[in-house]
Structure 1
Amino acid sequence: MTKITMRQAIIDAMQEEMAHDESMVVFGEDVAKFGGAFSMTKGLYEEFGGVRVFDTPITESTIVGAALGLALSGLRPVPELQFGDFVGVAFDEIYNKLGKWKWMHGGTMQVPVTLRLPIGIAGGAGPEHSQSPQALFMHAPGLYIAIPSTPYEAKGLLKTAIRDNNPVLFFEHKMLYDMKGEVPDEEYFIPLGKADIKREGTDVTIIATALQVHTALNAAKELEKEGIDVEVVDPRTLAPLDKETILGSVRKTGRVIVVHEEPKTGGMGAEITGIIGEEALFDLQAPFRRIGSPDVPIAQNIHLEQFYRPSEEQIIETVKELMEY
């Protein structure tokens, strides 16, 4: 095992897959010589050259549309949008093209596109550069959605996504890029659709993604001091969603909170608690809870933006409320 940052884990995954498969190409705004806005493609241009790692104009719809065309032509494209928020500019190409093209042609075409998308509140980037739009695409059949929370998962999930012949939206929280974690020295893959229990517990289940996994784990440590045993489940992918692990945890603890950085209304928590209500309602000892961000644009001010993101205090207070039932 080697301890590296999530940034390095993602770069290593792309480097390994480009060496493995000459059909893989990486492109996007400033990803070649500059190495990407967040330095997420550093070294790839120097190793693989400008034919396989190249810059594009500032036009997200073209980036995604070109990825589809390249995939249909036999390549394995891994495009990057500089900010995940820009899915809005390329929404038709993602929602209607990437996810549906295979099925509109009787399954005869493969669409092996992995679209990398930096998300999340970080450093006062404002309402158009700080969002977490992943839940929008839970309503888009045909698309896979991956959201790593550690370097280990970032590398394993990305390698799996790149080799998959279906389109994968790969959401990376910007605040996790510098987080370090252990990654195996040997090659490994993490399957899409398999959740991970980050912390075993018996009293309350917290389901969280990306940065909020760590917020939940920190809250769990504090609650342990008061004798409350929290289980933390990281879905790792929202599509496919590992209902078995989620429902198994909920049935064990009888209490559940879903925590995410995207707005509470229509966030992933809405779908997950809907599933729990349909399939495990009578296993609950207390009403389920959702903790998301408020339904307002994210503040530009670095101090105000912190009130938008769910906090340890919110989680701790909500857990204590559920323990009173």
Structure 2
Amino acid sequence: MERSQPRTADDRALPRCLRRAARAVQRHQPAQDAAGEGPALTMSTVTVIDPTMSATREIEFRDALREAMTQEMRRDPRVFLLGEEVAQYNGAYKVSKGMLDEFGPRRIIDTPISESGFAGMAIGAAMMGLRPIVEFMSWSFSLVAADPILNNAPKMLYMSGGQFGCPIVFRGNDGAGGQLGSTHSWCVEGLFSNVPGLKMVIPSCPEDAKGLMTTAIRDDDPVFFLESERMLGMKGHVPEGDYLVPFGQAKVRREGTDCTLVSFGRPVNFCLDAAAELAKEGISCEVLDMRTIRPLDIDSIVRSVRKTNYCVVVDQSWSFGSPGSEVASQLHQHCFDDLDNFVHRVHSADVPTPYAFNLEQEYLPNARRICEAVRSCLYRA
């Protein structure tokens, strides 16, 4: 018979029904090693990236993701990766290249083509104290797993009265841009971001991809990590050590005074292109990269808009019920009197994603459409 553990003040503060579960979790927490580099390493003990950090090397977006996962798997034996073709084939987009050789088939796991099955299996593993990373080859295929990822993972902590958490990362390619057709080009932000209990991350550059992935793996809540197939080969300066990019903290990618451009993910780069073009006309745009959709850093948006008095939101989702519409709604609520025009929005066209390259480029937000929206917002159209 298992020997009971002594009660602590924190233990006595819990409802009686949760005390045993809490003690079990404490017993199974990996211990920190003598050098202070074991799995007990937490958010507060690791460098948070800031503007003073610099990196001389350039690596691709996919390499930044792999580096974050590899570093976390070396640090914490509870972390593992599973999904279709992640092991023997090195990942459909080579994000997990070489990881099977280092970690073996117990931690880099090829699965059948059954998103609902392996997502549900990973949720069960997370409930039991492991920290799975689930790769969807495309977020379009996550719709097959809607029940486990939406009806179980985000609600588990609440439904179990705190007895079971669900520290899990779901990651994969989101959105259009690779001529993959309508069924493989979903932007799932608008579908999933209104679900309480999950966090949604959408990096725009390799540096953030690594830092946000590290934060996601260490987070105790389910994290939906949205990548872009069109950005996997994008190169950027990335620090070599492990670091964190905190959730809910936007970054100003370009300072400006005339209009605020708010975006997330790949379209941030379209905003930077548009801002450079508009600068030739004497229009100074501030580009704000949200980095995360849940949590949403509305305070940073409000601060910027109170400076510029104009705002254009650029979102690759369809416009109806989108993150972009939520940003616009909250802005009108928080700083209505500071706005000199209503919040303008640039979205993907409200049609199924076309296959033809020229149609797909017009379907997506692009620099030309962003420039037109800014001119309209500033009454210069």
One-letter identity of the residue aligned with 2:217: I
SS at match of 1:262: coil
One-letter identity of the residue aligned with 2:324: G
How many angstroms does 1:64 deviate by? Answer: 1.3
Greater gyration radius: 2
Quote the Cα distance in structure 1 between the aligned partners of 2:133 and 2:124.
Answer: 12
One-letter identity of the residue aligned with 1:48: F
Other-structure match for 1:32:
87
Q: Is the 8 A contact 1:203 1:231 kept in 2?
A: yes
Other-structure match for 1:59:
114
How many angstroms does 1:302 deviate by? Answer: 2.2
Instruction: Report the identity percentage.
Output: 41
**Corresponding residue to 2:284 among 211, 229, 236:** 229
Quote the Cα distance in structure 1 between the aligned partners of 2:120 and 2:66.
Answer: 24
**Corresponding residue to 1:160 among 211, 215, 229:** 215
Quote the Cα distance in structure 1 between the aligned partners of 2:379 and 2:362.
Answer: 26
Other-structure match for 1:46:
101
Q: Is the 8 A contact 2:200 2:294 kept in 1?
A: yes
SS at match of 1:232: strand
Alignment of 1:14 onto 2:69: yes
Other-structure match for 1:217:
272
How many angstroms does 1:14 deviate by? Answer: 0.5
Other-structure match for 2:369:
314
Other-structure match for 1:101:
156
Q: Is the 8 A contact 2:181 2:354 kept in 1?
A: yes
Other-structure match for 1:178:
233
**Corresponding residue to 1:208 among 247, 251, 263:** 263
Alignment of 1:110 onto 2:165: yes
How many angstroms does 1:16 deviate by? Answer: 0.3
Quote the Cα distance in structure 2 between the aligned partners of 1:260 and 1:13.
Answer: 26
14-23 or 130-139, which moves further after superposition? 130-139
One-letter identity of the residue aligned with 1:148: P
Alignment root-mean-square deviation, CA: 1.0
Quote the Cα distance in structure 2 between the aligned partners of 1:59 and 1:193.
Answer: 32
How many angstroms does 1:18 deviate by? Answer: 0.4
How many angstroms does 1:187 deviate by? Answer: 2.0
Quote the Cα distance in structure 1 between the aligned partners of 2:162 and 2:214.
Answer: 23
Other-structure match for 1:256:
311
How many angstroms does 1:118 deviate by? Answer: 0.7
One-letter identity of the residue aligned with 1:267: S
Quote the Cα distance in structure 2 between the aligned partners of 1:171 and 1:186.
Answer: 23
Q: Is the 8 A contact 2:84 2:112 kept in 1?
A: yes
Other-structure match for 1:125:
180
Q: Is the 8 A contact 2:193 2:293 kept in 1?
A: yes
Alignment of 1:285 onto 2:357: no
Other-structure match for 1:304:
359
**Corresponding residue to 1:23 among 48, 54, 78:** 78
One-letter identity of the residue aligned with 2:285: V
Alignment of 1:89 onto 2:144: yes
Deviation string for 1:55-77 (max 9, x for gaps)? 11111111211111010111110
SS at match of 1:293: coil
TM-score by length of 1: 0.98
**Structure 1 unmatched ranges of 5 or more:** none
289-298 or 150-159, which moves further after superposition? 289-298
Alignment of 1:192 onto 2:222: no
Q: Is the 8 A contact 1:11 1:41 kept in 2?
A: yes
Pick the structure with more strand per residue. 1
Quote the Cα distance in structure 2 between the aligned partners of 1:95 and 1:307.
Answer: 32
Quote the Cα distance in structure 2 between the aligned partners of 1:118 and 1:321.
Answer: 32
Q: Is the 8 A contact 1:142 1:167 kept in 2?
A: yes
How many angstroms does 1:267 deviate by? Answer: 1.5
Alignment of 1:140 onto 2:140: no
Quote the Cα distance in structure 1 between the aligned partners of 2:359 and 2:373.
Answer: 22
How many angstroms does 1:136 deviate by? Answer: 1.6
One-letter identity of the residue aligned with 1:278: Q
Quote the Cα distance in structure 2 between the aligned partners of 1:196 and 1:136.
Answer: 25
SS at match of 2:182: coil
TM-score by length of 2: 0.84
How many angstroms does 1:186 deviate by? Answer: 2.6
Other-structure match for 2:15:
none
Displacement over 3 Å in runs of 4+: none
Q: Is the 8 A contact 1:267 1:292 kept in 2?
A: no
One-letter identity of the residue aligned with 1:58: I
Q: Is the 8 A contact 2:178 2:229 kept in 1?
A: no
Quote the Cα distance in structure 1 between the aligned partners of 2:116 and 2:350.
Answer: 27
Matched pairs, number: 325
How many angstroms does 1:175 deviate by? Answer: 0.9
Alignment of 1:71 onto 2:126: yes
Deviation string for 1:31-89 (max 9, x for gaps)? 00101111111111110000000111111111211111010111110010110111211
Other-structure match for 2:46:
none
Q: Is the 8 A contact 1:33 1:46 kept in 2?
A: no
How many angstroms does 1:117 deviate by? Answer: 2.0
Q: Is the 8 A contact 1:113 1:167 kept in 2?
A: yes
Q: Is the 8 A contact 2:138 2:184 kept in 1?
A: yes
